[in-house]
Structure 1
Amino acid sequence: MKTPPAITGDEEVLVLDFGAQYAQLIARRVRETRVYSEIVAHDISAAELAERAPAAIILSGGPKSVHVEGAPGIDPDIFELGIPMLGICYGAQLMARDLGGEVNHSGRGEYGRTDLTVIEGATSELLAELPTSQTVWMSHFDAIVSPPEGFVATATS
């Protein structure tokens, strides 16, 4: 059996934590792909991120709506760094809102299993090897109804 490559830290993925109960799980899943990952506070500055030069950034979920007064955000200059980003739940909604998309507030939280369906004809490196339909966990207050300019929806839940 071939030994998997060591995690060297040459490449790292940073998980910006908005209070998600599963931030540790996200970081662990990244490490399982043999890429170093670390959880950092959501209020890390763009300058600090640029200095660390991660290969990618994941915006975690969180227990709030992006529409609630005092909801956590990120330094807007982070979007200008050119670092690939993946938003999960709250993180995706925050990114969509901050970059000009439309995010609706449902007024109540939704939690539990739901179906994720890849949109027919959509192309995504991230989803390429996955089934076109699968059961996922949802935990959110908001929904992206219109992505920002330049973004393309590749799946729905």
Structure 2
Amino acid sequence: MDLVKAFHPDREQDESEKLRKTEVMQRVTQAYNDNNLMALLKLQMELDRIDQEHLEKLADEQLIYYNKILKQQADELEYEKFYIVEDLASWCDMYPFEITTIETVMLKFNKEVRKLKSDFKKLKNEAVLWNNPLEAKELLKIYQIPKDDNYDFF
């Protein structure tokens, strides 16, 4: 609330200062909406021009509270990361522990795309052969599909 009071642009008469405060207010609002205590703390430090001496004077309880909130945020991010990696692993036919970098995923993805393109090309060529009765009989022999006397397709 102190940040909102200090940086609210509607209270400013000077246009250049109003623009600066509008930009800062957008940052405050975004940090608040994201529940990003670290960003809010940085903005508070900008407002108060907090230096090292001031930081040393902060109450231990306040620092413990900040650390607790930041730890919760870190835990939430780890939790989100876990599920993102799990989803990505299932989409890429990989184990989660195999996903170490985006490059690893991209290599696997590109390999799968090349394989699918190759398989598609083979299927496309076979589709042409299936349209020709003589070629289709040869394919049946290759795939060892027995010809059923009740179903004479050719």
Q: Give TM-score, length-normalised by structure 2.
A: 0.18
**Rg larger in structure:** 2
Q: Give TM-score, length-normalised by structure 1.
A: 0.18
More helix by share: 2
More strand by share: 1
The structure with higher relative contact order (CA 8 Å, sep 6+) is 1
